[in-house]
């Protein structure tokens, strides 16, 4: 969660287009404080952890009850954090229910869902639930699911290209524009439709964690939320430098630090080592079906068994993009029975003696 909270803090002084749309600015100032983005990020994380502790992660009604309770609790603790008007109405009326919002609040608070679960299907389901309690407009839900998915893929060792293609194909966001193309006409807007793709683009162009943060701020607009979202993905991909974590902690209260520390106690043992993630991105990984070939790039095909390298399907071995497609587990079963695709048989015959 450090990435989201740091993005919020660093972007806060430049919200409402108060910056110069440049990457050259002081990273921290007296105005670098947390806002509602951080408060609700902590609230969602605490609720999802409570569901795990209670063993109710599969109970939609209970998870949503915990989420609503946590958001009300934390908003009461920090009433002046800068909540949107629609969300303030929701907070003031416990019986109001979701209000069909497509605001970017659903995407800025969702980061913990990208870390807590072991497969994309569960990640997306939990992200959807975090949105639906208030932001149940299809675009609000899509924004939350897209960001949680990007975080899940980034922390799992997926390359930026894999993340980009997945988000484009699954959620239909246009990620073809560069930040240089976005920046001149971008303005303060608070919808998922006009914040999520810009934040993802800032992540895709950034060269390291800090550069992602600076790139996001340079776009202008709703800078704290946009940078919160970009930072949440950047943390999963790059990690956060220790000195920035320490600066973040200095600017948070003890109650928020308690939740953050609890969160990392839960997720840290299950994370891929940063060196391993980098190795996978640079050098690839052994074929998960036969283990005989190093598959370097997404789409590489194993000459021995025919498996096509796909980090999404390799992270979730029961996942398929379309109903008739083989999952990794199904492919393994077919290979173990002696099956090899015909085109691989032809290739092996062509290269016989060389493999």
pLDDT confidence tier of residue 118, bands split at 50, 70 and 90: confident
- CATH code where residue 66 lies: 1.10.4080.10
| pLDDT value for 213 | 98
Quick one: 227 and 101 in the same domain? yes
Q: Average pLDDT in the 227-254 region?
A: 96
| Beta-bridge partner residues of 294 | 286
- Say if residues 256 and 9 touch (Cβ distance below 8 Å): no
Do residue 186 and residue 315 come from a single domain? no
Residue 355 falls inside a structural domain: no
Specify whether 161 is located in the same domain as 301.
Answer: no
Q: Are residues 83 and 61 in the same domain?
A: yes
pLDDT digits (tens, 9 = 90+) for 255-290: 999 999 999 999 887 666 665 666 566 556 778 888
Contact in structure between 45 and 112 (CB atoms under 8 Å): yes
- Report the C-alpha gap between 75 and 157 in whole angstroms: 35
278 versus 236: which is more confidently predicted?
Answer: 236
Residue 142's domain comprises 2-270
Q: What is the pTM of this model?
A: 0.80
Q: Given this model, what pLDDT does residue 16 score? A: 86
Cα distance between residue 305 and residue 290, in whole Å: 7
For residue range 86-105, list pLDDT tens digits in order. Answer: 999 999 998 889 999 999 99
């Amino acid at each position: 969660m450090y990435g989201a909270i740091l993005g919020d803090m660093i972007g806060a002084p430049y919200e409402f287009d108060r910056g110069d749309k440049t990457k050259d600015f002081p990273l921290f100032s007296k105005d670098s404080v947390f806002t509602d983005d951080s408060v609700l990020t902590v609230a969602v994380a605490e609720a999802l952890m409570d569901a795990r502790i209670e063993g109710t992660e599969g109970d939609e009604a209970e998870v949503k009850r915990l989420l609503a309770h946590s958001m009300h609790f934390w908003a009461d603790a920090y009433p002046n954090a800068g909540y949107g008007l629609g969300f303030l109405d929701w907070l003031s009326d416990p019986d109001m229910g979701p209000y069909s919002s497509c605001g970017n609040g659903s995407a800025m608070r969702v980061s913990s869902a990208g870390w807590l679960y072991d497969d994309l299907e569960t990640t997306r389901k939990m992200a959807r639930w975090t949105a639906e309690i208030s932001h149940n407009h299809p675009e609000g839900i899509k924004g939350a699911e897209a960001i949680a998915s990007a975080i899940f893929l980034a922390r799992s060792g997926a390359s930026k290209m894999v993340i980009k293609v997945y988000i484009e194909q699954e959620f239909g966001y246009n990620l073809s524009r560069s930040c240089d193309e976005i920046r001149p006409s971008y303005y303060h807007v608070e919808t998922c439709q006009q914040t999520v793709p810009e934040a993802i683009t800032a992540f895709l162009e950034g060269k390291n964690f800090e550069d992602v943060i600076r790139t996001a701020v340079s776009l202008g607009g709703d800078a704290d939320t946009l940078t919160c979202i970009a930072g949440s993905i950047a943390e999963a991909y790059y990690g956060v430098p220790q000195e920035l974590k320490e600066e973040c902690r200095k600017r948070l209260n003890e109650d928020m630090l308690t939740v953050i520390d609890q969160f990392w106690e839960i997720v840290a043992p299950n994370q891929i080592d940063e060196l391993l993630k980098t190795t996978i991105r640079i050098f690839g990984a052994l074929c998960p079906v036969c283990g005989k070939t190093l598959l370097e790039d997404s789409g590489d095909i194993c000459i021995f068994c025919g498996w096509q390298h796909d980090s999404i399907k390799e992270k979730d071995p029961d996942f398929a993009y379309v109903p008739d497609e083989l999952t990794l587990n199904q492919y393994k079963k077919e290979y173990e029975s002696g099956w090899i695709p015909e085109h691989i048989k032809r290739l092996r015959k062509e290269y016989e003696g060389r493999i």
